[in-house]
A and B are shown apart, each in its own frame.
Chain A
Amino acid sequence: MSGAILSTHGLVARYGDFQALYGIDFHIDAGEAVALIGANGAGKSTFLRAVMGLLPVAPDMVRMGGQPVGGTPADRMVQKGVAIVPEGRRLFSGMSVQDNLRVAVDQADRLGRKGGWSLARLHQLFPILKEKARTPVQSLSGGQQQMVSIGRALLCQPRVLLCDEISLGLAPRVIREIYAALPEVRAQGTSVVLVEQDVGLAQSASDRLYCMLEGRVTLTGPSGSVTRDAIGQAYFGGSHAVA
């Protein structure tokens, strides 16, 4: 925990009068992959949005390298080394694949973010993005759009990559292709937070996991040693557990 690259401390988030998160304590170390699992409405995406600066939270509730960064606007979180693959991909429609990716390259240059990701490197990871460089993003398949979204986030040269349901709505073959890219992302020293509904996939792709239920963490532990029974209890309700 002391070496955490990113951590949250009693993170609380609201949508107007509705409280969505109730005191989330979380941490991730450099190069680590951590999965967030939970049913729909558990607060996983809200957690990522709060960390990314897309929801108002108190400064001390989110820390990077020990420094309070809660409530920092998203563009400045990118500058600090956090990038997100948002739910629904959120690509810039009307723009080509290349231009969607170049927006991230432009901003990383402007913000002085240095890292190992370049367009050429990304094309090695997802060769289809080179073939489709001039194609408007709205004409791509769901899997290809997800690759653009991941690529756009990687080109921000993040130290922490937040991935929100990157397998949602994709064919199993495409999901395998996308998840096969994660080891290379981690090999760059990038920490990965994976929000995932497929528990098996989340466990296999992460070092540790957190299970959330109704805005609270109900289970946390090493992904390899958390049992299916414990996850089942934490996922659907029951006694809180720390493995």
Chain B
Amino acid sequence: MQWLDALVQGILLGGMYAQYALGMALMFGVMKIVNVSHGDLVILLSLVGISLASSFGLGPFTVMAALVPLAVGLGWLLQKAVLNRVVGEDPLPSLIATFGLSLALQNLMLQIWSANSRSLPGGGIESRSIQVGGIHIGLLPVIVLVFAVALTWGLDLMLKRTRFGRALRAAASDVEAASMTGINPRAVYAAATAIAVGILGFAAVFQSLRSTVAPADGGAQLIYAFEAVIIGGMGSVWGAFLGAMVLGVAQAIGFRIDPGFGVLAGHIVFLLVLATRPQGLFGRA
């Protein structure tokens, strides 16, 4: 029973990681950019959300409704002001720029919110659970998983069925050829980053509901997102989702083996995938 419990809890944890990973997969898929500031953006949005909630007495889903458009705007601005200047065939400039941005964001957050940990009050939602066949299932992790599935499904549908999705896929395949059909690559990039950071708006609310956040926490979120994307296969949204599930399950099983082994178990699975199947479990060779 405890292994079944680990599997269920791992899948629920994977829902959180999927929300970190989707945006990273999208940005990598379209622009070949690994956004090192990804985790810091989650934390920044979390802290903004917590401040909004405490200043205006907002509930978590009202905070989400405010935070997601804000995140979309932030992503668009990030691409227009920074990443469009460094995106290109050489991945190094964007890596350096986003690393610099990560440091700047961490210091900015320390300046505004100090190093203290904070969380978003959820009005009890964070502690409610149901019991199914002897396994306790938290309501919040289920909501997180439902949002993760909906976001992945929605993103996949958008990529396959819409004009904008086709433009994104074309730019991801061959950006110069895309420009030859009338696609403005920089506009497509800005929209892709807007969506990627917009998804972090959801992740930020859930992250600050399920645990505390502090300005220095971004690194861990970045690593989980990165590992999920690598495990699943770079550039595929369902691959990122499934990679997040694998990471979550690996951590949950590792935690059952030894409470100190959970995170390490995820890293080991990540390294094993990297060594044996670098294109990811669900990516094409």
Cβ of A211 < 8 Å from any Cβ of B?
Answer: no
A109 and B173 CA atoms in complex are apart in Å by 21
Contact with A along B148-161 (1 / 0, CB 8 A): 00000000000000
Question: Is A152 positioned at the interface, with any CB of B under 8 Å from its CB?
Answer: yes
A52 to B180, CA, bound (A): 8
In the complex, the answer to whether A86 meets B177 with C-beta atoms within 8 Å is yes
Contact B163 A106 (CB under 8 A): yes
Min C-beta distance of B125 to chain A, whole Å: 40
Shortest CB–CB separation between residue B227 and chain A, in angstroms?
24
**Residues of chain A at interface, number, CB under 8 A:** 31
Residues of B within 8 A of A106 (CB): 163, 166-167
Whether B169 lies near A74 (C-beta < 8 A) is no
A55 → chain B closest CB, angstroms: 11
Convert B175-193 into 0s and 1s, putting 1 for each residue whose CB lies closer than 8 angstroms to a CB of A. 0111111111100000000
| B176, A78: Cβ atoms closer than 8 Å | no
Do residues A90 and B169 form an inter-chain contact, with CB atoms below 8 A? Answer: no
The contact of A108 among B169, B182, B185, by CB within 8 Å, is: B182
Q: Which residues of B sit under 8 angstroms from A231, Cβ to Cβ?
A: none
Cα separation A69 to B170 with both chains bound (whole Å): 25
Pick the contact of A110: B163, B170, B185 (CB < 8 A). Answer: B163
A135 interface residue, CB < 8 Å from B?
no
- Interface residues of chain B: helix, strand, loop or mixed (majority): helix
Q: Could you say which residues of chain B place their CB within 8 Å of the CB of A163?
A: none
Residue A147 CB within 8 A of the other chain: no
B173 engages A104 (CB within 8 Å) = no
Cβ A78 vs Cβ B166 within 8 A: no
- Distance in angstroms from A104 CB to nearest chain B CB is 5
Q: Contact: A110 with B177, CB < 8 Å?
A: no
B167, B169, B180, B184 pick with most chain A CB within 10 angstroms: B180
A86 touches B181 (CB 8 A): no
Q: State which of A79, A90, A103, A108 has its C-beta within 8 Å of the C-beta of B176.
A: A90
Total interface residues on B, CB under 8 Å, equals 17
- Bound together, the chains give a CA A74 to CA B169 distance in angstroms of 18
| Residue pair B173, A111 in contact (C-beta under 8 Å) | no
When A90-B174, A93-B173 are in contact, do A75 and B166 touch as well, CB less than 8 Å?
Answer: no
Contact B182 A75 (CB under 8 A): yes
The reply to whether B176 and A54 contact each other, CB–CB distance below 8 Å, is yes
CA distance A91 to B167 in the complex (A): 13
B173/A92 in contact, CB under 8 A = yes
* Contact status A94-B163, CB under 8 Å: no
CB distance from B284 to the nearest CB of A (A): 8
A93-119 residues with Cβ-Cβ distance < 8 A to B are 93-95, 99-100, 102-104, 106-111, 113
B87 to chain A, nearest CB (A): 15
Q: Which of B124-171 contact A (CB under 8 A)?
A: 163, 166-167, 169-170
Q: List 27 A-B contacts (CB under 8 A).
A: A54-B176, A54-B179, A73-B179, A74-B176, A74-B179, A75-B179, A75-B184, A78-B181, A79-B182, A83-B181, A86-B180, A90-B177, A91-B177, A92-B170, A92-B174, A95-B166, A95-B170, A95-B173, A102-B166, A103-B170, A103-B181, A103-B183, A106-B166, A106-B167, A109-B163, A110-B163, A153-B181
Residues of B within 8 A of A (CB): 163, 166-167, 169-170, 173-174, 176-185
What 9 additional pairs, Cβ within 8 angstroms, besides A86-B177, A90-B174? Answer: A78-B182, A91-B177, A92-B170, A95-B173, A103-B167, A106-B163, A106-B166, A109-B163, A111-B182
8 smallest beta-carbon distances between A and B, as pairs: A107-B182, A78-B182, A90-B177, A92-B173, A74-B179, A106-B163, A92-B170, A75-B184
